[in-house]
Amino acid sequence: MAKRYNKAKYKLKPQTKKWLKLLLIVLSPILLYVCYYAYKEFKAGLIKYKAFGIYIPDHYEVHGIDVSRYQQIINWKSVKDMNIEGVSIDFAFLKATQGTQTIDLQYFQNRIRARKADVPVGAYHFFVASKDPVQQADIFSKVVQIKRGDLPPVVDIEKEYHQSSVKIRKNLKTWLRLIERRYKVKPIIYTNVDFYKNHLEGYFESYPVWIAHYTKLREPNINKAWTFWQLSEEATVNGIKGKVDFNVFNGSKEEFEELKIK
């Protein structure tokens, strides 16, 4: 008579069960976030516009946007695929940090998703003139990792915070020096026409500038060749809910490629 063997039932050890429950508790919020993000990204992909909704000068070859957490979750594939009469999104500047402590948490997903959609990206820091520039450079350096094909880092300086022009320039110079040392490339200075003329003109001639100027009748009126022009904050772009800043690059597509990190 053949022998019958009882199959041993495998039981998890109490300690193993405890760790599995703990792992499930830890992972549940992450899984929920991933599902939520995927759903919101899908929904953003359904956002379509018939046009960019703004006046765009026709003699620029390269166009782009800049975004922060205020644009919420973006469907970058939809952004990349939008093309209206030959105008498409060729780059995106992403807010990364502000002051000495604030990190734009949407930056990380924007960076990953935009790169995946083949949209060249750059990161910017919102500069608080009253805060320690060394600490501001430090937080940016810890958050932002630049890779080949990215655009140079940007400092957004547009508010005085009750500081004198001398103090503003001194602190900005420190930030620029530290960031240039860290990334081996000259950062870009973003500001508006009035702030540039009142505080920066004649002091940062070796740095590229990105000027915000929303008068469609003429280009930024500054005594320096500008690299980027933010011409509107009212653009509509596929994959983005609401309005977004729109920019042009002052040069050819070949010159734009030269600007990228090598």
Of 255, 237, 233, give the one whose Cα is nearest residue 246. Answer: 233
The one catalytic residue in 41, 66, 90, 245 is: 66
Catalytic residue from among 158, 180, 201, 219: 158
Residue 255: active-site member: no
Q: Is 66 a catalytic residue?
A: yes
* Non-local CB neighbours of 251 within 8 Å, separated by 6+ positions: 61, 62, 227, 259
Using CA atoms, how far apart are residues 29 and 172, in angstroms rounded to an integer? Answer: 40
Q: Which residues are catalytic?
A: 66, 158
